[in-house]
Amino acid sequence: MMNTLSLKKIYSGKVRDLYEIDSKTMLIVATDRLSAFDVILDEPIVGKGEILTQISNFWFGKLAHIMPNHFTGQTVFDVLPEAEAQAVARRAVVAKRLTPVKIEAVVRGYLSGSGWKEYQKSGTVCSIQLPAGLREAEQLPEVIFTPSTKAEVGDHDENISFERCAEIIGKERAEEVRAKAIQLYTEAAAYAKTRGIIIADTKFEFGLDENGVLTLMDEVLTPDSSRFWAVESYQVGTNPPSFDKQFVRDWLEQSGWNKQPPAPKVPEDVLAKTVAKYREALNVLTR
């Protein structure tokens, strides 16, 4: 991958770099960096940026009838010199510059991860009361919207209640975000299931265009922003094996790491298994 582009870099996030094209558009480049527990690992996962960009692009197209997204209709070849465009063509998109909505829109269809931990303690997920007696990885009676704060690089996202979300972005906007996020998830989860993948939960990012229209942005329904399980190995009561960076997360959990930077060095075989799972998700979903 080319490290330097002729465009001006405006932001480097956990896994994406943004470059300025003009006042209305920018280039989003997905790197091979991996973030786990909000810490960027030292070892890149080679090929990850390309695979995740292809998965996202597939979903942006498939869900475009639900709401507008950040695509401008241009390609990298419209905005970069030929050699640079070739180098980043599979990992970069030309996107509208939007004003980010300041929350993470998390949607859960199954009880897992931090939701399962909270449920065991209090019978709730993000302050939403759930029926008693649910088991780990069980499908929820209905899809729930469980927003979180958007952390700066190095900080942790924090689960918040819908009321707190409404305080941050306004009640009307919060209701719109909740409705759209649930609709996007529900349609995507139904499709993925026909391909043998359960999407247990996912995180969407939204922005506002110059007219204040809510717009889907960033990445969509990738193994980095979602929890993917294989239908064939899914069993209620156990944490199903994942299609995503859960390999890395599980290894880190077992390593005794305190989740503060720096992260321990992840073994090669764990990284290799992770990228193989990413590739499998791309092939299964988009074939």
Average confidence (pLDDT) over 49-55? 96
What CA–CA distance (Å, rounded) separates 174 from 178? 6
What CA–CA distance (Å, rounded) separates 204 from 223? 12
Is the pLDDT at 153 greater than 80? The verdict is no
What CA–CA distance (Å, rounded) separates 287 from 284? 6
In DSSP notation, 157-223 reads: P-B--HHHHHHHH-HHHHHHHHHHHHHHHHHHHHHHHHTTEEEEEEEEEEEE-TT--EEEES--S-T
Query: Residues near 82 by Cβ (< 8 Å), separated by ≥ 6?
Result: none
Report the sign of the C-alpha dihedral through residues 138, 139, 141, 147, in that order: positive
Q: Which two tokens stand for residue 220?
A: 């969509």
Tell me the per-residue pLDDT of 208-265, one tens digit each, with 9 for 90 and over: 999 999 999 999 999 889 999 999 999 999 988 877 677 788 899 999 999 999 999 9
Is the pLDDT at 3 greater than 80? The verdict is no
Nearest CA to 159 out of 217, 107, 197 is that of 107
Mean pLDDT over each residue of the chain, to the nearest integer: 93
pLDDT for residue 1: 47
Q: Which two tokens stand for residue 256?
A: 């005794």
pLDDT for residue 48: 94
Tell me the per-residue pLDDT of 63-85, one tens digit each, with 9 for 90 and over: 999 999 999 999 999 999 999 99
Residue 271: in which H helix or E strand, if any? helix 268-286
pTM: 0.92
Nearest CA to 175 out of 103, 225, 243 is that of 103
Whether 105 and 80 have beta carbons less than 8 Å apart is answered as no
pLDDT for residue 47: 95
Tell me the per-residue pLDDT of 158-177, one tens digit each, with 9 for 90 and over: 899 999 999 999 999 999 99
Tell me the per-residue pLDDT of 79-129, one tens digit each, with 9 for 90 and over: 999 999 999 999 999 999 999 999 999 999 999 988 999 999 999 999 899
Strand partners, 144: 108
Nearest CA to 110 out of 277, 240, 244, 286 is that of 240
Q: Which two tokens stand for residue 39?
A: 């810490």
Tell me the per-residue pLDDT of 172-202, one tens digit each, with 9 for 90 and over: 999 999 999 999 999 999 999 999 999 999 9
What CA–CA distance (Å, rounded) separates 192 from 39? 29
What CA–CA distance (Å, rounded) separates 241 from 146? 23
Q: Which two tokens stand for residue 2?
A: 């080319």
Chain centroid to Cα 97, Å, comes to: 19
